[in-house]
């Protein structure tokens, strides 16, 4: 017969061996604490598999569970010497959840279970404290009614407040035993009114009701949202822990508290926590009373008067401090602990690895490795790479008030305040004032405004929309897909929730949470401490994957180099074309009727492109630089306003109407799959010829000045066939040969392609005969493989993830089964043809830890990420190597 119940405490272990997958985190740690001799109230854990069975069986339990639970109750009775339901000296228990990973506050708890109209009298006599007994009973009725019976919690709170008002009291602690007894009567009448039946008096019915409610809370809305946000699988389930109650509300020698073995905000090696005398656990968390400090030093620092636990209960505190050290040594991590002191005796109710800020995680990991508690490898694995975002960008002051207008998608981390502007030209003009660019959606034409802005807010677009991708590359905070915004760019106003925000008004955006706030909210600047540098050195020594950056400006390149980038994995040359000084020449080139006209315009662009590349290569001397030739459809560069058409007409010396006709000819119904990428190079090879010449002239010039050349890797985009790459490579090689002859020097370079079409992945063996490297453009490869537009996917992908169609948003983390298989296949076929082919990825996935793990598994050579995600990629690459080592 399958065992479902595992006992702990009183020198007994049910055999769960501390397995979190079986017992849940709380159950495993209770068993673990009991096993090392700590004072843990006895209890038993109903294992996580029961949760799945409960739902599979229409919210009913396996037949054998009843007998196992009865045995568990007998175990608690044997250790405590009390009987469950005994009117003279009753056993009371708590019923708590416990998933395999911590989900604080997401699931339900019931305390003081086992009280009824008879046992409360027994508790009065046994404890000698009638006030404590009746207070415990009213707490139980209130909690059980809320959690199990699902009655209106507010009715009970209202009755308590009225009771205090009627008696002229301010605090719960002012109420007497008679007051609590009267309130119990009132609570029971509320239950009968709302539930239609009396409050349950049978203690076994109470127990099974609570067990069902805790399992039921696994599918509560808040638990489902938390799981989705934290990538916790829904089929893991929760365990249920039934444990003998110990009481912190039995007078002035009793207390309850929550503590951390180190500071969870800063990481300092100092005890951190709060406690309350004569209270139960929920009083500390609920904020009904103001908790007191744990240590004398913390109290004095805060300037607080109420005595700390160290001063008020020195013996219990000394015992607790010893337990802190023992637990940290045993679990080899910072612990989050719940404890109760009952009439001077310390009891441990919970321990778990404590939640911590990124700053604290970094400090704790490095400190513990330096102390010899963990190894450097373990320290690397302890820090969540994604959490480094908190360290690299300004964050909102957590103490500052905020007026939240709406919430969108947290598209690019960091926080910024500024005046609202609705177009990129205004953003550039007013950049000195600090602006937030607000758009329905952004396009490549907004690049100058995005660069000028402190932050970007869009009503449409997902986590990998144009706004999100560019903002992350620039290190700008961005909130995208704020669908409740109604933007009227013409009138320069947006509306949300009945409120209007006009150009010039100040807003604050938090790209880490997606919140949009009215007014200025103070920010806290990041501090890259010595711990950050130390951990990165350790990580770099362990990783195999190289880490490059996606960058096309000298500022981005310098930022990326400071963060440890080992070259450029993607330089998008089209962003350079949108500069206001050269857009007219670009438009002239596009709208030209023939090759001669295009070459005239391209001659104007050549020195500009060369200058761009010189600035980039100077930062990246000696490093590989993958330059993607022009990729987007030409229509993205076209003029839209009359004045823009007139400007191009004057520059090209042609009639405006001719230009408008040419623009209409270039219109495409589906430009994403239209005349773009290498298709532009095949039809207008002179464009790629100019770009290749600019690259090689710049590389030669930098080599001459510095004595060390960059290594240009010229990347041809959107290739589907080997013949396309063959034609474009010939154009690049011809330009290189000409430049090298003119300059009297040669430099090393490679020609390769971006694999972003399924056909290219399937025919990678043929394409590798021509290309020296593949860079997987996972943004477009995901779109073309799934047939999903990333700019429109935000409308339904959340639902797809919730329904288990995809494990995660495939534009955030690689769809391993589909897109991943194409990458693996292309890598295998490419290497079969050309064993030394260089393989990397340059889509947004290059900064996603789960995707980096896949790249390590597939044996790619490098990943490329936006500058501010380079440290994340370095740490994730080290973790991937360690996990697979």
Contacts 24+ apart (CB under 8 A), 786-789: 786/810, 786/815, 786/818, 786/819, 789/672
> Does the annotation mark 678 as catalytic?
no
What are the DSSP E strand ranges found in 387-472? 395-396, 403-407, 409-412, 415-421, 435-439, 455-458
CA proximity to 478, closest of 515, 449, 443, 452:
515
User: Distance (Å, rounded) from C-alpha 652 to C-alpha 598?
Assistant: 10
CA proximity to 415, closest of 517, 290, 544:
517
Query: Which positions ≥6 away from 751 have C-beta within 8 Å?
Result: 713, 714, 716, 725, 728, 729, 732, 733, 770, 771, 772
User: Distance (Å, rounded) from C-alpha 11 to C-alpha 547?
Assistant: 52
Q: Rounded to the nearest 5 degrees, what angle is found at the Cα of 726, between the Cα atoms of 722 and 732?
A: 140
User: Distance (Å, rounded) from C-alpha 386 to C-alpha 388?
Assistant: 5
Q: Which two tokens stand for residue 493?
A: 């106003």
CA proximity to 549, closest of 813, 874, 880, 780:
874
Q: Can you give the C-alpha Rg of the chain in angstroms?
A: 33
If you ran DSSP here, which 8-state letter would residue 420 be given?
A: E
- CB crowding 388-416: b at 16 or more within 10 Å, else e: bbbbbbbbbeeeeebeebbbbbbbbbbbb
Catalytic residue among 451, 466, 575, 845: 466
Q: Rounded to the nearest 5 degrees, what angle is found at the Cα of 173, between the Cα atoms of 169 and 176?
A: 80
CA proximity to 478, closest of 509, 443, 432:
509
If you ran DSSP here, which 8-state letter would residue 295 be given?
A: S
CA proximity to 440, closest of 421, 467, 458, 422:
458
Catalytic residue among 678, 842, 845, 855: 842
Helix (H) or strand (E) holding 693: helix 685-706
Query: Which positions ≥6 away from 792 have C-beta within 8 Å?
Result: none
CA proximity to 735, closest of 679, 681, 696:
696
If you ran DSSP here, which 8-state letter would residue 95 be given?
A: E
Does the CA dihedral 687-692-694-697 come out positive or negative?
negative
> Does the annotation mark 842 as catalytic?
yes
Please give the full DSSP string across 728-747, using - where no structure is assigned: HHHHHHHHHHHHHHHHT---
* Cα–Cα distances in angstroms (integers) from residue 268 to residues 394, 587, 662, in the given order: 21, 58, 66
Q: Are 397 and 521 in contact (CB under 8 A)?
A: yes
Query: Which positions ≥6 away from 341 have C-beta within 8 Å?
Result: 248, 253, 254, 255, 256, 313, 316, 347
- What share of residues in the chain are helix, strand, coil (percent, to 5)? 50, 20, 35
Catalytic residues: 466, 842
């Amino acid at each position: 017969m399958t065992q479902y119940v595992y006992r702990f405490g009183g020198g007994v272990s049910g055999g769960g061996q501390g397995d979190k997958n079986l017992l849940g985190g709380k159950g495993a740690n209770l068993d673990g604490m009991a096993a090392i001799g700590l004072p843990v109230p006895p209890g038993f854990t109903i294992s996580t598999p029961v949760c799945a069975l409960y739902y599979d069986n229409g919210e009913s339990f396996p037949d054998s569970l009843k007998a196992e639970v009865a045995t568990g109750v007998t175990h608690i009775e044997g250790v405590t010497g009390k009987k469950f339901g005994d009117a003279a000296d009753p056993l009371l228990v708590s019923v708590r959840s416990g998933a395999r990973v911590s989900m604080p506050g997401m699931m339900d708890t019931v305390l003081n279970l086992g009280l009824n109209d008879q046992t409360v009298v027994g508790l009065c006599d046994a404890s000698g404290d009638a006030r404590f007994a009746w207070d415990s009973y009213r707490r139980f009725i209130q909690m059980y009614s809320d959690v199990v019976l699902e009655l209106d919690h507010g009715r009970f709170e209202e009755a308590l407040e009225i009771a205090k008002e009627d008696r002229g009291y301010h605090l719960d602690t002012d109420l007497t035993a008679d007051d609590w007894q009267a309130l119990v009567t009132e609570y029971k009448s509320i239950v009968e009114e709302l539930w239609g039946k009396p409050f349950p008096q049978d203690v076994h019915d109470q127990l099974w009701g609570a067990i069902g409610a805790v399992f039921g809370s696994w599918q509560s809305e808040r638990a489902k949202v938390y799981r989705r946000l934290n990538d916790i699988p829904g089929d893991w389930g929760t365990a249920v822990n039934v444990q003998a109650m110990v009481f912190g509300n039995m007078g002035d020698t009793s207390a309850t508290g929550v503590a951390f073995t180190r500071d969870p905000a800063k990481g300092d090696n100092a005890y951190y926590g709060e406690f309350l005398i004569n209270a139960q656990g929920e009083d500390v968390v609920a904020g009904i009373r103001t908790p007191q400090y744990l240590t004398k030093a913390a109290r004095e620092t805060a300037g607080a008067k109420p005595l700390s636990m160290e001063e008020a209960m020195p013996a219990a505190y000394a015992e607790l401090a010893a337990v802190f050290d023992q637990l940290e040594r045993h679990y080899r991590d910072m612990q989050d602990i719940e404890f109760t002191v009952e009439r001077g005796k310390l009891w441990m109710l919970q321990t778990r690895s404590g939640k911590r800020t990124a700053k604290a995680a970094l400090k704790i990991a490095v400190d513990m490795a330096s102390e010899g508690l963990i190894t450097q490898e373990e320290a690397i694995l302890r820090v969540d790479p994604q959490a480094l975002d908190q360290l690299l960008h300004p964050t909102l002051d957590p103490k500052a008030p905020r007026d939240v207008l709406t919430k969108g998608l947290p598209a690019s981390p960091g926080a910024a305040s500024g005046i609202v502007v609705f177009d990129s030209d205004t953003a550039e003009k007013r950049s000195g004032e600090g602006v937030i660019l607000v758009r329905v959606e952004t396009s490549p034409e907004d690049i100058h405004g995005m660069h000028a802005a402190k932050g970007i807010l869009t009503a449409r677009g997902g986590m990998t929309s144009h706004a999100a991708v560019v903002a992350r590359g620039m290190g700008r905070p961005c909130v995208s897909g704020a669908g409740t915004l109604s933007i009227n760019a013409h009138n320069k106003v947006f509306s949300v929730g009945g409120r209007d925000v006009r150009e010039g008004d100040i807003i604050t955006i938090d790209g880490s949470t997606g919140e949009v706030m009215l007014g200025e909210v103070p920010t806290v600047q990041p501090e890259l401490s010595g711990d950050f540098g130390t951990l990165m050195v350790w990580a770099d020594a362990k990783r195999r994957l190289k880490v490059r950056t996606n960058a096309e400006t000298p500022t981005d390149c310098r930022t990326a180099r400071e963060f440890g980038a080992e070259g450029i994995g993607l330089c998008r040359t089209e962003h350079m074309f949108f500069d206001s000084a050269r857009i007219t020449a670009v438009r002239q080139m596009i709208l030209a009727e023939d090759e001669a006209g295009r070459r005239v315009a391209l001659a104007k662009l050549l020195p500009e492109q060369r200058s761009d590349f010189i600035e980039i290569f100077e930062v990246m001397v000696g490093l590989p630089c993958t330059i993607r030739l022009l990729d987007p459809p030409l229509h993205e560069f076209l003029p839209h306003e009359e004045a823009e058409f007139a400007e191009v007409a004057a520059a090209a010396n042609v009639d405006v109407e001719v230009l408008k006709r040419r623009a209409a000819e270039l219109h495409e119904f589906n430009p994403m799959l239209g005349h773009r990428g290498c298709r532009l190079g095949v039809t207008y090879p002179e464009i790629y010829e100019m770009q290749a010449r600019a690259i090689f002239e710049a590389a030669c010039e930098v080599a001459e000045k510095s004595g060390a050349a960059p290594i240009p890797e010229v990347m041809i985009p959107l290739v589907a066939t080997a013949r396309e790459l063959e034609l474009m490579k010939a154009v690049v090689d011809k330009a290189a040969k000409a430049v090298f002859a003119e300059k009297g020097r040669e430099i090393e370079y490679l020609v390769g392609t971006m694999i972003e079409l399924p056909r290219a992945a399937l025919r990678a063996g043929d394409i590798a005969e021509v290309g020296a490297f593949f860079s997987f453009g996972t943004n477009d490869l995901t779109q073309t493989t799934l047939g999903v537009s990333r700019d429109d996917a935000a409308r339904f992908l959340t639902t797809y993830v919730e329904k288990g169609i995809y494990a995660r948003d495939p534009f955030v983390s690689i769809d391993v089964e589909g897109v991943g298989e194409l990458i693996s296949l292309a890598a295998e076929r490419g290497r079969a043809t050309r064993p030394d082919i260089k393989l990397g990825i340059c889509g947004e996935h290059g900064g996603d830890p789960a995707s980096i793990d896949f790249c390590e598994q597939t044996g790619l050579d490098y990943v490329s990420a936006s500058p501010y995600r380079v440290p994340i990629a370095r740490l994730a690459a080290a973790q991937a190597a360690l996990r697979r080592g």
